[in-house]
C-alpha cells in the first residue's frame, strides 16, 4: 500500500498543535461564540428545522465586501465543535485580509444532532447537502465558501457536485469520496465514546480516538503540563455539558456515511468547476484513513487545488504554525491539531480570499 510520504502531490507539513495559552483560550471560547442568544432556528424547504449561529469579525471594514462561509460539521457533532477554528479565524481575520473584507460564518447542527430536527426517514449525504443549500437560501446567499470536515466534507462534496455555481471555494478536511475501508484501530475507542456516560470515560475514549500518543505526550510552552493533560481536561469539561445523543439521529447519520459515494465523473465535474479547493488531511488519522485524502487529490488537481497533509495530524481542532503558511502571502498563521486536522485557519482564510478576485493568489 502506498505510504503518505510516497505521494508527490501531497507534501507532509508539520503541525505544532496546542502550544500556548492563546490556543487553550480558543478551546474554551464556546461562550464567546455560542452564547445563549446566538443560537437561532430556521425552518428549511427540505422539511426540517435546523439550529444555527452566525459569527462575524468585530472590526468591520466600512463598505467592504462580505465573504460568506458555511461550516459543515461531522458525525454527531454540533456546530459548537467549530469553536476553536471560529475563534482563531475571527481573531486573525483583519490581519489576514488587510481590513479590506468582512467575513460572516454560519455554523449549524446537521439533521439528527443538537438543536436540529431528528427526522425518522433515511438520511443521505445528498439530502443533508440540500439542508445546507436550503440554509443558504434562508440567508439569500447566492454562493458561499464551503468548509466541511469528515462527514461534513462528504456533504460538501455532494453540495459542490449538485450546484457548483454556488460554491466560491471548497475546503475538505479529513474526509472521503466514500466506500472506504475503516482502520481497525478506531473500532474500540469509537464504541467506547458512544457507550460512555461518565465524562471521564468519554474523555478517555476521545483521546484514543482523536489524538496520537506521540502528539499527546509533547509538552506545551507554559507550565509543566503535556498536551495529554490539557486535552483530557478540555474533553472532560466538554463532556460535562454534552447533550444526550439521539440514537435515531446517530443511526441515520451513520447510514448516510456508509452509503455516501462520489463517482469519478462527479469528482471530475467538481474539479472542472474551477473554484479553489483546499484538501487538509492527517497522516495519523484512524477515523478516515489518510489514503482517502490522497484519493481525492488524485481526482482534484490543478493550479486551483492545494493539499496539506499533517505529518502527525488527526481529527482534533487546533494548532498554530506560522512557517506552514509561507505559500500564502496573505496568511500569517496556520491552524490544526493532530491527530486529525481540522484545517489551517488562515490557510482556509486564504482560500476564501482567493476566490474573491485575487486570481494571482496561490492556494
Q: What is the pLDDT of residue 1?
A: 39
Question: Which pLDDT score, from 0 to 100, does residue 51 have?
Answer: 98
Average pLDDT (272-283) is 93
Given a contact cutoff of 8 angstroms between Cβ atoms, the answer to whether 317 and 150 are in contact is no
In the predicted model, is pLDDT for residue 7 greater than 80? no
Q: What is the pLDDT of residues 57-100, one digit of tens each?
A: 887 777 778 999 999 999 999 999 999 999 999 988 866 666 67
d(CA 143, CA 200): 42
Kindly state the helix (H) or strand (E) to which residue 203 belongs, with its residue range. Answer: helix 199-210
pLDDT value of residue 16: 61
Output DSSP code: residue 79: G
pLDDT score, position 127: 98
Domains and CATH numbers, the chain: 4-183+246-354 (3.40.50.1820)
* Pairwise CA distance, residues 305 & 10, whole Å: 11
From the list 189, 187, 217, 183, the residue with the least C-alpha distance to 205 is: 189
Is residue 21 scored above 90 in pLDDT? no
Is 346's pLDDT higher than 50? no
- Which pTM does this prediction carry? 0.84
Q: pLDDT: is 281 or 170 the higher one?
A: 170
Region label for 76, one of left (φ > 0), alpha (ψ between -120 and 50) or beta (otherwise): left
pLDDT at 356 over 70: no
Q: Which of 19-23, 116-120, 273-277, 348-352 is the least confident region?
A: 348-352
Round the average pLDDT of the chain to a whole number and report it: 81
Rounded CA gap, 239 and 280, in Å?
27
Mean pLDDT of 228-246: 89
Element (H, E) at 156: helix 151-162
Among 326, 330, 358, smallest CA distance to 11 is for 326
Angle of the 227-240 helix axis to the 199-210 helix axis, nearest 10:
130
pLDDT at 311: 58
Is the predicted pLDDT of residue 283 greater than 90, yes or no? no
Count the neighbouring beta carbons within 10 Å of the beta carbon of residue 124.
Answer: 18
Judge whether residue 332 has pLDDT over 50. no
Amino acid at each position: 500500500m502506498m505510504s503518505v510520504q510516497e505521494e508527490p502531490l501531497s507534501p507532509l507539513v508539520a503541525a505544532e498543535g496546542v502550544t500556548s495559552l492563546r490556543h487553550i483560550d480558543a478551546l474554551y471560547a464556546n461562550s464567546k461564540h455560542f452564547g445563549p442568544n446566538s443560537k437561532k432556528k430556521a425552518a428549511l424547504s427540505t422539511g426540517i428545522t435546523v439550529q444555527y449561529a452566525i459569527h462575524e469579525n468585530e472590526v468591520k471594514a466600512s463598505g467592504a465586501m462580505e465573504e460568506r462561509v458555511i461550516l459543515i460539521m461531522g458525525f454527531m457533532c454540533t456546530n459548537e465543535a467549530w469553536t476553536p477554528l471560529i475563534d482563531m479565524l475571527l481573531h486573525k481575520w483583519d490581519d489576514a485580509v488587510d481590513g479590506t473584507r468582512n467575513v460572516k460564518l454560519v455554523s449549524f447542527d446537521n439533521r439528527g444532532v443538537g438543536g436540529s430536527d431528528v427526522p425518522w426517514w433515511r438520511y443521505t449525504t445528498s439530502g443533508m447537502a440540500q439542508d445546507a443549500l436550503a440554509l443558504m437560501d434562508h440567508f439569500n446567499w447566492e454562493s458561499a465558501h464551503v468548509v466541511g470536515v469528515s462527514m461534513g466534507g462528504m456533504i460538501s462534496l455532494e453540495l459542490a457536485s449538485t450546484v457548483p455555481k454556488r460554491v466560491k471555494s471548497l475546503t475538505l478536511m479529513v474526509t472521503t469520496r466514500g466506500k472506504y475501508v475503516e482502520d481497525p484501530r478506531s473500532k474500540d475507542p469509537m464504541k467506547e465514546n458512544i457507550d460512555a456516560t461518565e465524562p471521564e470515560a468519554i474523555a478517555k475514549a476521545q483521546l484514543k480516538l482523536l489524538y496520537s500518543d506521540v502528539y499527546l505526550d509533547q509538552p506545551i510552552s507554559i507550565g509543566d503540563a503535556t498536551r495529554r493533560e490539557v486535552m483530557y481536561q478540555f474533553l472532560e469539561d466538554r463532556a460535562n455539558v454534552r447533550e444526550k445523543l439521539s440514537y435515531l439521529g446517530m443511526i441515520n447519520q451513520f447510514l448516510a456515511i456508509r452509503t455516501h459515494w462520489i463517482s469519478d465523473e462527479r469528482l471530475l465535474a467538481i474539479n472542472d468547476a474551477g473554484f479553489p479547493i483546499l484538501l487538509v488531511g492527517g497522516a495519523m488519522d484512524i477515523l478516515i484513513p489518510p489514503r482517502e485524502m490522497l484519493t481525492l487529490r488524485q481526482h482534484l488537481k490543478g493550479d486551483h487545488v492545494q493539499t496539506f497533509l499533517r505529518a502527525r495530524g488527526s481529527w482534533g481542532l487546533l494548532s498554530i504554525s506560522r512557517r506552514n503558511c509561507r505559500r500564502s502571502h496573505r496568511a500569517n498563521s496556520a491552524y490544526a491539531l493532530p491527530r486529525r486536522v481540522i484545517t489551517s485557519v488562515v490557510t482556509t482564510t486564504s482560500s476564501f480570499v482567493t476566490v474573491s478576485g485575487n486570481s494571482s493568489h496561490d492556494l
